[in-house]
Structure 1
Amino acid sequence: MTSTDYQFEGWMGLDPSAADGKMVWQKFTPKQWEETDIDVKISHCGICGSDEHSLRSSWEWLPTKYPCCAGHEIIGTVVRVGTQVEHGLKIGDRVGVGAQTEACIGRMGYCADCASGNEQYCPRFSTTACGTYINGETAYGGYGLYHRCPGHFAVKIPDGLASHLAAPMLCGGITIYSPLKHHGCGPGKKVGIIGIGGIGHFGVLFARALGAEKVVAISRRSNKKKDAMQLGADLYIATEEEPGWAERHARSLDIIVSTASSANMPLAQYIGLLSTDGTFVQIGLPADGNLAAPLGLLLNRRKVTSSMCGSTDEIRDMLTLATEKDVHPWVQVVPMKNANQALLDTVAGKVRFRYVLEN
């Protein structure tokens, strides 16, 4: 018989001020137990920049229901397993839970996206933290001691991958791995990564691990050049400090993935870096306006597209590659008790490149 005498407690956001370092530690009631669920004793949880937006409820299209618990890069040990959980999960397994906690899988038949393995695009997508399940219950994240979620969205962590390294891969890593893999990053491809931060540094690491011929790191200033080259970039472009960069590197890249979160980026110049049939993928979520596609798309048969996290199968594929290729993200581990300060430091850009909370 499974013991369930544990308490769900965590850092709770009671209102938008939580994003200003005012989360409060308290008990909460998780979603009602279903036999498709698992409970996880949390050992680590990565801090993602989007946690601030969730706590502040700053995305109009994804309002937060308070109280909430942030954190969607969760690693821990399974302590309870429902009778209908698939994928062979059992008590004692080390698992990870990323940004998605539910889709129509197992509830109301498969939509076309779920049937094709693209569950991250399911119209009934539910976020792991600060979100709402299909039945209306609140989804509480990983800034705490325990997490409950549908077992389908938990993946086993390979034995050769440390928990503190795996945690930020579950959102930061997969968000950029998915478009790189989907658009053919590999031998012979020249790849650009815009924004060398929590997600962008994963772009350099995974483009290299996938065997790209050339990896170009792109940022506004040169202060991250040393880091980018150490991560594995072949070239660094500082757009605000190198006059003529757009002309000098025109038509030189096959794939560009942008993590930039401002609509004021020089999009036309970025797209001009693409060769014919090149692909520009926007994964950053601008909160200051909309992106407008420039004329360069029409003239050179280029593509601008988007991408959103990744499916559980893609996460498994990514973790396997990370283990085989010894992908080592830059992580700073901090105690769970310091979550408020770590979040503030993340928003202030003080981390290189990810904080991971540890119980």
Structure 2
Amino acid sequence: MATERFTGWVGKDASAADGNLVYEEFQPKKWEETDVDIEITHCGMCGSDLHTLSGGWHKPEYPYVVGHEIVGRAVRVGSKVSHVKVGDRVGVGAQSDSCGECDLCKSGNESYCDRFTQTYDGRHKNGDRSTGGYADNARVPGSFVINLNPYDKIPSEILAPMMCGGLTVFSPLKRYGAGPNKRVGIIGLGGLGHFGVMFARALGSAEVVLISRSRAKEADALKLGADRVIATKDEPDWATKHASSLDLIINTADSPNMPLTEYLGLLAPMGTLVQVGAPDGNMPGFNGFKLLAKNRNLTGTAIGSRLEIREMLQLANDTGVKTWANPFPMDKVNDAIKAFNRSEARYRIVLVNEKNAEAHL
């Protein structure tokens, strides 16, 4: 039997992160009756894609097909999959498998399972490499395919970036109590940060504050739902002026030189800072008394669960939260990468696989 092949945009070396992907065939995982094949219409571009292509987080294992903000149509559904049928609009986020048996999986925390499988740059249970959404098709274990039919108010180009970017901030906001009694700070207004502001507001937070280096994006922050902006370069006394004023901070910044000590000082007693930005190098050091003296908490999260994906999408469906999407044709993916590297996403680039999208109009 001939080896089955899909087609997509393949990264062959570190130059791929500069916009040098190659369109060619690649091998998906071997078909199992627990799988779903997806004809991809949209795929968001995440910073993780470029960290992986460049080898910034670990030694790379080329070739790669990246992309874990996938939306499309189910075109083949295994006999052991019951929640999806051929023709359904479906989505996949950053995770595509886990053991399903450990306490973490059983408690809805499968993204922290030791056998967690990333949608790309991972290995499936059968040993095959996982491949992502910069492609015409994807093959994913059905248990991690989300049926998107219930969220019919959200267009696919708006929905795709929520599958990872939106979830990355929604999960800690929900887990750490963003809502009517919490003053929430979001550090950084980029792809993650713009979701952070919108979801903090949609969850009913008492106050939403953007923390940024300058006021260049202040108008955008206010449109997204922020109440005010702390500009760390424009306000020399920002750390003392705003000390102990926030209950929860989501930090999307990934610089190893961020002023972490000062960020911690913005927390009220017993407040929590959640790190979601992932630098290539180490996190900066900080003054331990910023934690000890006020019983503050410093933690981190990576990605959310399937339950949280559904909760997030339902909230977006009900409240009208919309990605600030910047669409590119998928065949212009290398131009999209270059725009991303120039910080021109404003705020999430979405690759539109036009031949597949047009087929479903």
**Hey, what does 1:196 align to over in structure 2?**
189
Of 322, 330, 355 in structure 1, the residue corresponding to residue 324 of structure 2 is 330
Of 42, 65, 68 in structure 2, the residue corresponding to residue 69 of structure 1 is 65
Q: Does 1:263 pair with 2:256? A: yes
Distance 2:147 2:203 in 1: 22
Contact 1:49 1:347 in 2 (8 A): no
My pick for the range that moved more, 63-72 or 311-320, is 63-72
Question: In structure 2, the residue corresponding to 1:92 is in which secondary structure?
Answer: coil
| Residue correspondences, number | 347
Letter aligned with residue 142 of structure 2: G
**Hey, what does 1:353 align to over in structure 2?**
347
The structure 1 segments of at least 4 consecutive aligned residues displaced by more than 6 Å after TM superposition are none
Distance 1:343 1:39 in 2: 26
**Hey, what does 2:104 align to over in structure 1?**
113
**Hey, what does 1:81 align to over in structure 2?**
77
For residues 112-170 of structure 1, give each alpha carbon's deviation from its aligned partner in whole angstroms, at most 9, with x where no partner exists.
Answer: 21111100001111111232223321111100100001011111221111100000000
For residues 204-248 of structure 1, give each alpha carbon's deviation from its aligned partner in whole angstroms, at most 9, with x where no partner exists.
Answer: 000000000100001112211111111110010110111101111
Question: TM-score of the superposition, structure 1-length normalised?
Answer: 0.94
**Hey, what does 2:333 align to over in structure 1?**
339
Contact 2:170 2:199 in 1 (8 A): yes
Gaps spanning 5+ residues in structure 1: where?
1-5
Gaps spanning 5+ residues in structure 2: where?
354-361
Residue pairs, 1:17-32, within 5 angstroms? 17-32=15-30
Distance 2:155 2:104 in 1: 32
Q: What is the CA-CA distance between 1:7 and the residue it aligns to?
A: 5.8
Question: In structure 1, the residue corresponding to 2:216 is in which secondary structure?
Answer: helix
Residue pairs, 1:200-349, within 5 angstroms? 200-294=193-287, 295-349=289-343
Distance 2:75 2:105 in 1: 27
Contact 1:229 1:235 in 2 (8 A): yes
Q: Does 1:100 pair with 2:92? A: no
Letter aligned with residue 315 of structure 2: L
Distance 1:222 1:134 in 2: 48
Q: CA RMSD in A?
A: 1.2
**Hey, what does 1:3 align to over in structure 2?**
none
For residues 78-111 of structure 1, give each alpha carbon's deviation from its aligned partner in whole angstroms, at most 9, with x where no partner exists.
Answer: 011111124x111111011000111112xxxx11
Contact 2:5 2:28 in 1 (8 A): no
Question: In structure 2, the residue corresponding to 1:11 is in which secondary structure?
Answer: strand
Distance 1:298 1:195 in 2: 25
Q: What is the CA-CA distance between 1:293 and the residue it aligns to?
A: 4.3
My pick for the range that moved more, 346-355 or 132-141, is 132-141
**Hey, what does 1:52 align to over in structure 2?**
50
Distance 2:261 2:18 in 1: 35
What percent identity do the matched residue pairs reach? 51
